Amino acid sequence: MNFDPVFLLNGNLKNLSNLGIKKYYQKKCILKHLYRKGTLSNPEICKLTNLSSPSIHKLLNELIHENLVKDEGIGKSIGGRRPNLFGIDPEARFIIGISLGHQSSEVAVFNIKNQIINQIHTIDIHLHNSQAFIDKLYGFAMEIINRSGINMDKILAVGIGIPGLTDPASGSSYSHLNYSEKSVKELFEEKFDKPVFIDNDARVMALGEFAFGLAKRKSNVLCLNIGSGIGMGMILNGKLYQGNSGFAGEFGHIKIEEDGLLCMCGKRGCLETVASGLALERVAREDIGAGKITKIDELLMGDLSALSSEIIIKSAQRGDQYSIDLLAKIGEYLGKGLATLIHLFNPEAIIIGGKVASAENFITDSIQQTLNKYTIYQIKKETLIMTSQLGEMAGVLGAMALVMENVFEDVPASRMPV
Ligand SMILES: [Zn+2]
């Protein structure tokens, strides 16, 4: 497979001399800081890496020569001569972010400055357990790359968020695309001929919030993904928590109702059966069928099959009492579940993401009220309940963040190995 010699050696370090290994880490360490901070001067890089100014000067020149770093001109004076600022060349590398969904999937290409190229592209295709699905998605992604005129040599890696039980370490999904002996990671790597990083969709979205959204600069955050189901990504002590086997965060499958409805996981009364987007649609469909008076009808124009969580939210925004009550009920169920999590994790913030997040206050107000009822005030008082601002970008932005997390994983946080 095609590993990038600057960013990903993946075990190929043994082919390098000691000096080569040292240089690889030194350059990657500079690139990591430039990626995280945007632009830095030579003295600032010295401080961050503990390397001497002449060494940084030499390494920066090499990186500029390799078209990886750009001299961005003069920065602000910190006393004395104003230093030159350096940043990663946005065109140095590109990353493919993919967010797989049950009904449709999203693909976006990013430059290494986290900027999206053109737009997010959506393909309406059922997440089917077959090679045909992978072939189709790959074809779609390649079309986007080709249209953007980006050379495949400049694609660093691919990040993919997948719904369901996912083990990022082995690259396997236990819920989808497990038709072969090979892991999902391997199946996609065969197609793209690039390193592929996968994780559960809710955890990927949490990474997106951590890198680009409301969880930025926070250390303990629970990120909920409420779409067809309910998933959760946990940032604990500033790191994404994956659990022993990579399954942490299955918040949707905690039991909330005795003898409740049968869940897709095979158990009864899971939170997902009463508080997900699908649950919202099911209840509304039953109630409308039973003759309940609601303004949702006006939006459906007689076609009950068009009912979706988006329509219910829209109807609530137009003042429909039935839809408002329905969303409040979902908030109450979520609040009951979240009360337990607040007692266990004492988070700074809980971010509600996914399709249902656009309900904003219609859901968060009732979550707050329920939390007031069921949590110890001192533990809860500083926990912010927020709805994600990343919208439809969350999945692909998270996939981009997943790639960069993995790319820089072998570089120590601040000081580098010498
Ligand atoms: Zn379940």
- The domains spanning 94-206+396-405 and 214-389 adopt the same CATH topology: yes
Q: How many whole angstroms from 16 Cα to the centroid of ligand 1? A: 49
Report field, pTM of the whole predicted structure over 0.85: yes
Q: How many whole angstroms from 229 Cα to the centroid of ligand 1? A: 9
Q: How many residues does the chain have?
A: 418
Spatial separation of the C-alpha atoms in residues 281 and 253, rounded to whole Å: 19
- Per-residue pLDDT of 339-371, as tens digits, reads 999 999 999 999 999 989 999 999 999 999 999
The CATH architecture annotation of domain 94-206+396-405 reads 2-Layer Sandwich (3.30)
Q: How many whole angstroms from 394 Cα to the centroid of ligand 1? A: 24
Residue 212: half-sphere exposure toward Cβ, Cα within 13 Å: 24
- Per-residue pLDDT of 386-403, as tens digits, reads 999 998 889 999 999 999
- Per-residue pLDDT of 3-22, as tens digits, reads 677 776 555 666 777 888 88
Spatial separation of the C-alpha atoms in residues 416 and 36, rounded to whole Å: 16
The residues, ordered by sequence, that sit 6+ positions from 139 with a Cβ below 8 Å of its Cβ are none
Q: How many whole angstroms from 186 Cα to the centroid of ligand 1? A: 28
Q: How many whole angstroms from 163 Cα to the centroid of ligand 1? A: 14
Hey, where are the domains in the chain?
12-91, 94-206+396-405, 214-389
Q: 36-62 b/e with 16+ CB inside 10 Å = b?
A: eeeebbeebbbebbebeeeebeebbee
> What is 12-91's CATH number, 3.40.50.2300, 1.10.10.10, 3.40.120.10, 3.40.190.10?
1.10.10.10
Q: How many whole angstroms from 222 Cα to the centroid of ligand 1? A: 19
Per the CATH hierarchy, to which homologous superfamily does domain 214-389 belong? ATPase, nucleotide binding domain (3.30.420.40)
Q: How many whole angstroms from 246 Cα to the centroid of ligand 1? A: 17
pLDDT the model gives residue 336:
95
Q: How many whole angstroms from 344 Cα to the centroid of ligand 1? A: 21
